[in-house]
Amino acid sequence: MYLLFSPFLFLPSSLFLKLNLKSLWIAQKLNWFLQVVGRSWRKPIRNSKRLRNRFEYQTINCTAFNIGRKCPITNSTTFMDDSDTDSQPPPTCPEYFRWIHEDLRPWSNTGITREMLERANRTAHFRLVILNGRVYMEKFHRAFQSRDVFSRWGILQLMRRYPGKLPDLELMFDCEDRPFIKTSEFSGPDAPSPPPLFKYCRDSDTLDIVFPDWSFWGWPEVNLPPWEPLLKSFKEANKWIKWSKREPYAYWKGNPYVSGMRMELLTCNVSKDQDWNARIYAQNWDREAAQKFKDSNLTKQCTHRYKIYIEGIGWSVSQKYILACDSPTLLVKPQFYDFFSRSLIPMEHYWPINQNDKCRSIKFAVDWGNSHEQKAQAIGKAGSRFIQHDLNMDYVYDYMFHLLSEYSKLLTFKPTLPPNARELCPEKIFCKVEGVAKSFITESMVKSPAERRPCTLLPPYDPPSILKSAKRKESTISKVETLERQYWYNNNKSKNSKD
């Protein structure tokens, strides 16, 4: 009888498959009937199930915390019962998780010794220690704005999502924009092993281990909300203006003064003499802050048919917001990659832009898209789908979980508490921050443990298949470049014949 109350919520999937359609139909009708007439019977049953299944964290009481400022002791036995989370089979992790194995490959034969770890302290902002499910930090120095605080907040939320499931470890975390561990310094027969350093991005000449950046939990200095609610708003925002009704140009807005590449992009803006099909706007953060960010709402920037992505000092957190608009991303060939961007495929998820000939490349991409509307929209949709599905917050946490788990397997020493470490807990951050940061911290707080186990990690790529997909990517990009050359050749010819 119990099954009939809510067939879709609690039915084990194997049983679900065995039910034939007719009984399913009856169950559905009955469920509907009970919902309408039998609210009073249904509720208590559902609640008692919920109580047993879902543990909800207590809201943080800062008055109580501020008395002793000590992290509360949580009773970890509460979480040891795995039977509930096991009832939902986990999905397979998205493809980009396989790069975890590649990022850790430099240590796959040697393991990570304490000596290697300590050498990563040169630029690290803090050392993170996990021992028996509790988190500690040894702080070396302050990071820019609040990125270190939000990164640590993210790790604390991971602990709440998967309580009792993270292994003991020690790691070094650096919050700067650019990767630091140069491959060339650690190759050759007598070279030392590279130090393992966690970072937000890397490139093909470096060995930093990439980790999701702080913006997934919010970036208060630029009023950028946490990823989970923002992702939902993008879904809504994309319905506001249909693609065909959007401005038929390529849009970019950002701070151009952080890199030469971005300064060059300014020259592609529309002017009296030229129209490269680009609409470029410089973001002035001081002015935006003064007017309470009323012109920098990202969900209101899905107004053009094409969106340009271009790197900043390193990778740029803007990539996920740009891809989320349902408009094809014109991606200026990047140098750096974060944890997910290595799995983006040209002409499937984005349109590649030649970094040495940006304006003409953009002009061609927009003209092509406006004369191949279906294909252009498909690229826009595929990019958004990747972001909405493969990069939702559940997977971001799963990525962190698997990366930390695989990393900890490589440690050849037993993690210990350094003398200068202090314990971290959500209270220590939550009770200290104020203003916008407080609201982002509140919004991004994990309220209860995950209802499923982490997704299933796929095995490493074999080296030939990495090579093959890199070749495929290059060949797609060079095909686009050929089309582009033809376009400009014809364009020149017709211009010359007119003269």
Ligand X SMILES: *[C@@H]1O[C@H](CO)[C@@H](O)[C@H](O)[C@H]1NC(C)=O
Residue ranges that bind ligand X, judged by CB under 6 A:
61, 63-64, 75, 77-78, 118, 121, 140, 223, 225, 233, 266, 269-270, 280-282, 297, 299-300, 485, 488-489, 492
State the amino acid at position 113 in one-letter form: T
In the complex, minimum distance from the CB of residue 445 to ligand X, in angstroms, rounded to a whole number: 16
Distance (Å, whole) CA 219 – CA 211? 16
Would you call 202 helix, strand, or coil by DSSP? Answer: strand
In the complex, minimum distance from the CB of residue 420 to ligand X, in angstroms, rounded to a whole number: 10
Contact indicator for 77, 444 with CB cutoff of 8 Å: no
Question: Given the structure tokens 């191949």, which residue do they identify?
Answer: 372
In the complex, minimum distance from the CB of residue 266 to ligand X, in angstroms, rounded to a whole number: 5
Tally helices (H) and strands (E) across the chain: 20, 11
**Closer CB to ligand X, 266 or 347, in the complex:** 266
In the complex, minimum distance from the CB of residue 142 to ligand X, in angstroms, rounded to a whole number: 14
Most distant CA pair in the chain: distance in Å?
Answer: 84
Distance (Å, whole) CA 493 – CA 209? 49
- Token pair, residue 7, equals 């067939």
Backbone region of residue 435 per phi and psi (left: phi > 0; alpha: psi in -120 to 50; beta: other values): left
Q: Which helix (H) or strand (E) holds 64?
A: helix 62-68
**Closer CB to ligand X, 468 or 493, in the complex:** 493
**Closer CB to ligand X, 27 or 433, in the complex:** 433
Q: Within 13 Å, how many C-alpha atoms sit on residue 345's CB side? A: 13
In the complex, minimum distance from the CB of residue 200 to ligand X, in angstroms, rounded to a whole number: 20
**Closer CB to ligand X, 53 or 269, in the complex:** 269
**Closer CB to ligand X, 65 or 315, in the complex:** 65
**Closer CB to ligand X, 100 or 278, in the complex:** 278
Would you call 183 helix, strand, or coil by DSSP? Answer: helix
CA distance to 108, 141, 165, 409, per residue, from 415 (Å): 19, 22, 16, 12
**Closer CB to ligand X, 140 or 186, in the complex:** 140
Beta bridge partners of 136: 129, 423
In the complex, minimum distance from the CB of residue 29 to ligand X, in angstroms, rounded to a whole number: 37
**Closer CB to ligand X, 234 or 339, in the complex:** 234
User: Exposed, middle or buried, 131 (CB in 10 Å: 0-12/13-18/19+)?
Assistant: middle
| DSSP classification of residue 31 | H
In the complex, minimum distance from the CB of residue 269 to ligand X, in angstroms, rounded to a whole number: 4
Beta bridge partners of 418: none
**Closer CB to ligand X, 94 or 426, in the complex:** 426
In the complex, minimum distance from the CB of residue 461 to ligand X, in angstroms, rounded to a whole number: 34
In the complex, minimum distance from the CB of residue 130 to ligand X, in angstroms, rounded to a whole number: 20
